[in-house]
């Protein structure tokens, strides 16, 4: 599971605007890149858990809304 989250976070930190902004913000705050990537992994996991809980499909507005709720 960790490998799947790692690769997903790696791709999301490059191509997903919400996760990318979160990753860049952490890196510019002085966090090491692996720590920032681990935070992205956790953020993705929280978003997925929320989607399962509320039986929703993923779309851009959902990810942005979850980012606000999670505290991006």
Domain-by-domain residue ranges, the chain? 2-70
Give 27 or 72, the one with higher predicted confidence: 27
Contact 60, 43 (CB under 8 A): no
Q: Sorting pLDDT into bands at 50, 70 and 90, what band is 44?
A: very high
Is 70 within 8 Å of 47 (Cβ atoms)? yes
Q: Are 37 and 23 in contact (CB under 8 A)?
A: yes
Q: How many residues can be counted in the chain?
A: 72
Identify the pLDDT of residue 2.
86
Q: How far apart are CA 40 and CA 7, in angstroms?
A: 11
Computed over every residue of the chain, the mean pLDDT equals 85
Residue 72 gets which letter from DSSP? -
Answer yes or no: are the C-beta atoms of 8 and 44 closer than 8 Å: yes
Residue written as token pair 């929280």: 46
Q: Is the pTM of this model over 0.85?
A: no
Predicted local distance difference test score (pLDDT) of residue 55? 85
Average pLDDT over residues 24-49: 95
For residue 34, the model assigns a pLDDT of 96
């Amino acid at each position: 599971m960790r490998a799947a989250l790692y690769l997903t976070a790696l791709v999301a930190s490059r191509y997903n605007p919400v996760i990318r902004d979160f990753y860049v913000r952490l890196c510019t705050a002085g966090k090491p890149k692996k720590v920032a990537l681990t935070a992205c992994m956790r953020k993705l996991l929280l978003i997925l858990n929320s989607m399962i809980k509320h039986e929703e499909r993923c779309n851009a507005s959902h990810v942005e809304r979850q980012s606000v709720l999670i505290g991006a």
